[in-house]
Amino acid sequence: MIVLHGRKVVPGVAEGEALVSHETISGWGGIDPAEGTIIERRHELFGVSFAGKILVFPGAKGSSGWSGFFQTTRLMGTAPLAMVFTAMTTKVALGAVVTRVPAVTDLDQDPVEVITTGDWVRVDADALPRAEIYVAGARIGQNDPHNIDLGAGEGASHGASYYGRP
Amino acid sequence: MRLSDDERAMLDGAEGPAVAAAMDLLVRYGEALDCERLCDVRNVAGTMTQPSPAKARLVKEGGWHKAFAVINLDCDDDIEIPDMRVPTCQLQHGFGPDADGVVPYPKESIQLQDDAEAFYGRRGVSILATCTPYQVGNLPTRGEHCAWMESSAVVYANSVLGARTNCEGTASTGAAGLTGKIPCWGNHLTENRYGTHLVDVRVPVDDFMEWGMLGYFVGDLVQEARPVIVGDIAQPDLVDLKHFGAAAATSGGVELYHIPGVTPEAPTLEAAFGGTPVPDAVSYGPRERRAVYDDINSQGSSTDVDFVLLGCPHASVEQIWRAAKALDGRRLNSSTQLWIMAPRALKAVADRSGYTETIERAGGRVLSDSCPAMSRAAPTGTRVFATDSAKQAHYLPAILGIKAWFGSLEECVDAAVTGRWSGGLR
């Protein structure tokens, strides 16, 4: 298991399966909030849903509609469980705030390289003195993620219980 | 965050629950940014009236107060929305009544937006209804702190006007309107406003189409950074820089650039870099120009054009006049439509000047408030469209699933008249 340390962007704790994007993500013109999917045709995750996933990505790009579109995923029940990203911008900061999911940045290792899609991840933005991200190195399908002790108790996450999966 | 006494009082509810909710959002946002303090703003450009399914549901549940609380303040409480504290304007939004019968667009959305305009207008939101507030009288002064959204307007305000704004969002501008505050981060701080990259232009750039291509190249090159442009460039006008910035904020996330001798914070090349060493230049020559043209035009092969879209960002009066001249005495192909998007205020000028009549006589339309990308609406059956905007050529294929041609205003008008794309790089 790997532990990353970073800075809290939005408080909270969430645990779930990682979805890793190596490319930045557009909000307006880049996602469909009704489905929680990436719709930018040239994007590596075109057609993939981030709903109910720990979204790991370099940051936001494109229109100032970014935060509004991710806020809509919250209202439509298609939001990611948490956000872990590398480059801070006003778009992604406000977007994480209004999506109301735990969010962490300024990590001591590059999360996009360290975490793989399908990894079971626990994001603890409230940990002191630094926010913590626990990454179980096993991929879903190879090991039962619930057998991996990440110290999350019942496995409850603010995101999953409050906003639900689609 | 460190809050001043007046900010602390607002947070504690001294000015009512809506202002408290606004301050709470600004504090959460500021802490997310790791920002130390807020700054005062008296110029906010945001969005409240744009129709959406989520907004329609909220209005049905709890009226416009509820919609503003949830969407513009990220607050779930039932609160009453007071007047804006500082001048606030509505940017582009959905299509208005002038599009009824022309644009395939739901009547319910037009009605919802009408209701929104009445509600927010009474609270001091000026319904400019354009992505280019700087074309219709909202011109912040150099050094003025603002809270604007709309990436093409943000880059214009920072670079051409020397105002200071980050690329804000729906909730932060809503909160700024009620408080006159925004996190003092990023572009608000002098040390973050100097150039980072140097681009040397080695082909003539002398028309807004060329400026759009240069912007698309520069944005892709520098992404979120701050380019400084020198070289073989004619004195740009408002339209040139509007298209340059919009394209640079599309292929990348440029919010601020400098052109020494042209833009206000760069009297000299050295000043543009704040006295730090000037980096080696990246060249924009004939090969780069050809590559960016081919990139923007790589999305289709059929030359049958169903739809021509001009005015992204919203057209100036001069652009409407130029389109009218190109269309004068001609008639659009029977299977091709042409729309020019413009601010309401400038459409009124075009109407009064006779430009609209010339365009309509040819079969084209001047429309306001919105655009096909914002409203996800193009003429029914459109498979291929042509545009003079690198931004619209970039976004519309993803949003509507149609193919794009990019060229000059006159090439686009020719495509509308003949129904065929025959543009090319000269």
Nearest to B219 by CA among B169, B255, B176, B259: B255
Give me the number of domains chain A comprises. 1
Give the other-Cβ count within 10 Å of A73's Cβ.
28
Q: What is the per-residue pLDDT for B234?
A: 87
Nearest to B249 by CA among B372, B158, B325: B158
Tokens of B7: 């900010």
Give the mean model confidence (pLDDT) for residues B200-224.
Answer: 96
CATH of the domain at A107: 3.50.30.10
Q: What is the per-residue pLDDT for B18?
A: 98
Q: Which of A29, A64, A72 sits opposite B398 (nearest CB)?
A: A29
Chain B residues closer than 8 Å to A95 by CB: 169
Our measurement of the distance from residue B153's CA atom to the centroid of its chain's CA atoms, rounded to an integer in Å, reads 5
Q: Which of B32, B47, B166 sits opposite A97 (nearest CB)?
A: B32
CATH assignment of B5-190, among 1.10.3470, 1.10.10, 3.30.499, 3.40.50:
3.30.499
Give the mean model confidence (pLDDT) for residues B88-101.
Answer: 97
B286 to chain A, minimum CA–CA distance in Å? 26
B156 to chain A, minimum CA–CA distance in Å? 14
Catalytic residues of A: 63
What stretch of H or E contains B112? helix B107-121
Nearest to A103 by CA among A128, A75, A133, A77: A133
Average pLDDT over chain A, rounded to an integer? 86
Q: Which of A34, A91, A98 sits opposite B74 (nearest CB)?
A: A98
Q: What is the per-residue pLDDT for A139?
A: 55
DSSP state letter for B363 = T
A10/B28 Cβ within 8 A: yes
Give the mean model confidence (pLDDT) for residues A6-20.
Answer: 98
Domain range for A153 is 2-163
B398/A90 Cβ within 8 A: no
Per-residue model confidence as pLDDT tens digits over B263-304: 999 999 999 999 999 999 999 999 999 999 999 999 888 999
Closest A-chain CA to B225: A89
Give the mean model confidence (pLDDT) for residues A88-113.
Answer: 97
Give the mean model confidence (pLDDT) for residues A120-141.
Answer: 87
Confidence of residue A1 (pLDDT cuts 50, 70, 90): confident
Nearest to B75 by CA among B9, B35, B27, B123: B27
B54/A97 Cβ within 8 A: no
**What residue segments make up the domains of chain B, in order of their start?**
5-190, 194-296, 307-418
- The residue with tokens 């996800």 is B376
ipTM entry: 0.93
Residues A24 and A43: their CA atoms lie apart, in Å, by 9
Per-residue model confidence as pLDDT tens digits over B119-168: 999 999 999 999 999 999 999 999 999 999 999 999 999 999 999 999 99
CATH C-level class of B307-418: alpha beta
DSSP state letter for B85 = S
